[in-house]
Amino acid sequence: MLYVLLALCLPVLSQMSSSAGPEVVFERIRNAGVITLNRPKALNALNLSMIRHIYPQLKKWEKDPETDLVVIKGAGGKAFCAGGDIRAVTDAGKTGDSLAQDFFREEYILNNAIGTFKKPYVALIEGITMGGGVGLSVHGRFRVATEKTLFAMPETAIGLFPDVGGGYFLPRLQGKLGLFLALTGFRLKGRDVQRAGVATHFVESQKVKSEQPGDRTQSLIGLQLLLHTLEKPVILTPDSSHLFCWCHRLFEASSVEGIQENLKQDGSAFAQKQAETLAKMSPASLKITFRQLQAGATMSLQDVLVMEYRLSQACMRGKDFYEGVRAVLIDKDQNPRWQPSSLKDVTEQFVDSCFAPLGEHDLKL
């Protein structure tokens, strides 16, 4: 089918049109709808106004008989999208502003719209692709990584959990890889992003150079090369990376404490490094995340997003999310004081309470 898409996408520049909101740009390039996240100075961090622009446009393109596919990319060349604009969210949480509910709700609704999109959805995940940026890409049919892709779900470091459907896609990666990525926030780079199954395709960066939005000739050439990549058969190199085997063994346990124990017993430099990383993360986040992935492994994307919305609101009610954002994004002292400060003090009851239904406030998809 993609051959047809490429054939349709002929270089007729006069048939292109674009409309520019400041922070996200939409273009029509023949039969493709192209979304460019356009906050390069903020590494294209996703905020509520961007979500409110993207969602209706996506729905329009889904119905439009003249749109055969949608491509999403980031402006500036450094990042696809470094995550959600969570500083604004925690500010809102402190003052009781509704942004603290609206942001997560509308973001997850957009993640679901991408996951159920009826046409090919192609995300060019060049550069930093984390958190909210993963939610804008990973649920779509095609994710194209380059050697510059830097993927991570780093939420346990800020007292949150790997949301945006992380509970759906992470446990579906090979073995315990997803749990490893979720708990440690480990960064996958370049080809490893495809080897891990996060990206479906790999292309060299220079072939799909991230151009400025509005540079139409470049956009078109980039788009054609991107589609050309998707037509090539995917050849997955056998998993050469020791990383993947290691984490299957070390992250196989029935609790976070069990994983910590495995890491201590192992004694390798890799295991020691991961144990140190886990010791810095929010203990409550680690336990929530462990349960989230365990449950999400057998749930639909929709049910996972409903669960994650409950968890997001539990984080807004707690302390660690504010403290994590303070330590990492505001004061940047990298020294969060988590409450509770150790795994043993995070009770099962507390974790249960985070998963409790919200009644009329539950997310509806």
Ligand X SMILES: *[C@@H]1O[C@H](CO)[C@@H](O)[C@H](O)[C@H]1NC(C)=O
Q: Which parts of this chain interact with ligand X (CB under 6 A)?
A: 22-23, 39, 47-49, 85, 88
For residues 361 and 365, what is the distance between their CA atoms, to the nearest angstrom? Answer: 12
* Active-site pick, 23, 155, 192, 323: 155
Q: State the Rg of the chain over Cα.
A: 20
DSSP string, 61-111: HHH-TT--EEEEEESSSSEEE--B-HHHHHHHHHHT-THHHHHHHHHHHHH
User: Minimum distance between the CB of residue 331 and ligand X, rounded to whole angstroms?
Assistant: 21
User: Minimum distance between the CB of residue 52 and ligand X, rounded to whole angstroms?
Assistant: 8
* Active-site pick, 84, 115, 127, 185: 84
Q: Is 211 a catalytic residue?
A: no
Asked whether 47 and 20 are in contact (CB, 8 A), the reply is: no
Bridge partner residues of 143 (DSSP): 123
What is the sign, positive or negative, of the torsion defined by CA atoms of 62, 65, 69, 74?
negative
User: Minimum distance between the CB of residue 94 and ligand X, rounded to whole angstroms?
Assistant: 15
User: Minimum distance between the CB of residue 40 and ligand X, rounded to whole angstroms?
Assistant: 10
> Considering beta carbons, is residue 24 or 271 the nearer one to ligand X?
24
Q: Is 318 a catalytic residue?
A: no
Asked whether 350 and 284 are in contact (CB, 8 A), the reply is: yes
For residues 9 and 30, what is the distance between their CA atoms, to the nearest angstrom? Answer: 6
* Active-site pick, 115, 127, 132, 318: 132
* Active-site pick, 163, 192, 308, 323: 163
> Considering beta carbons, is residue 36 or 194 the nearer one to ligand X?
36
Asked whether 28 and 213 are in contact (CB, 8 A), the reply is: no
Give me the amino acid identity at 80.
Answer: F
Q: Is 84 a catalytic residue?
A: yes
User: Minimum distance between the CB of residue 23 and ligand X, rounded to whole angstroms?
Assistant: 4
For the chain, the maximum distance between any two Cα atoms, rounded to a whole number of angstroms, is 64
Written as six digits, the tokens of 223 are 């788009």
Distances (CA, A) of 269 to 63, 83, 280, 305, 310: 53, 30, 17, 36, 37
> Considering beta carbons, is residue 81 or 263 the nearer one to ligand X?
81
> Considering beta carbons, is residue 88 or 351 the nearer one to ligand X?
88
> Considering beta carbons, is residue 62 or 106 the nearer one to ligand X?
106
> Considering beta carbons, is residue 8 or 88 the nearer one to ligand X?
88
Give me the amino acid identity at 339.
Answer: Q
> Considering beta carbons, is residue 128 or 183 the nearer one to ligand X?
128
User: Minimum distance between the CB of residue 124 and ligand X, rounded to whole angstroms?
Assistant: 21
Q: Which of 39, 227, 68, 214 is nearest to 132 (CA)?
A: 39
Residue whose entry in the numeric block shows the structure tokens 């984490």: 247
- The shares of helix, strand and coil residues in the chain, as percent rounded to the nearest 5, are 50, 15, 35
User: Minimum distance between the CB of residue 211 and ligand X, rounded to whole angstroms?
Assistant: 20
Q: Which residues are catalytic?
A: 84, 132, 155, 163
